[in-house]
């Protein structure tokens, strides 16, 4: 299921929500798989994830990746 607004939501800065789910929506299935694995792999650093996402044309902050990984973001509630 594709959310036509996913890309816009992902690009929306500020607010209290976590941007990771929105960013995931804009990824291809292949990228999403790799991203999910990277997020749970402790040997992959958060800055590395941010860098790769940038390469994929997705901008997320280091803070968002870190908080999501630690379960300290809005979507862990």
Q: Report if residue 73 touches Zn ion, rule: CB under 5 A.
A: yes
Task: State how far the alpha carbon of 43 is from the alpha carbons of 12, 40, 75, in Å.
Answer: 29, 9, 23
Task: State how far the alpha carbon of 40 is from the alpha carbons of 10, 15, 28, in Å.
Answer: 21, 25, 19
From the list 5, 11, 48, 75, which residue makes contact with Zn ion (rule: CB under 5 A)?
75
From the CB of 76, what's the least distance to Zn ion, in Å? 6
From the list 18, 46, 49, 50, which residue makes contact with Zn ion (rule: CB under 5 A)?
18
- Contacts with Zn ion by CB under 5 A: the residue count is 5
């Amino acid at each position: 299921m594709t959310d036509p607004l996913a890309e816009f939501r992902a690009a929306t800065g500020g607010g209290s929500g976590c941007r990771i789910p929105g960013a995931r929506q804009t990824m291809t299935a292949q990228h999403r798989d790799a991203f999910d694995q990277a997020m749970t792999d402790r040997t992959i650093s958060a800055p590395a994830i941010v860098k790769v996402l940038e390469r994929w044309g997705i901008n997320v902050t280091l803070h968002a990746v870190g908080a999501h990984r630690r379960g300290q973001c809005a979507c862990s509630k």
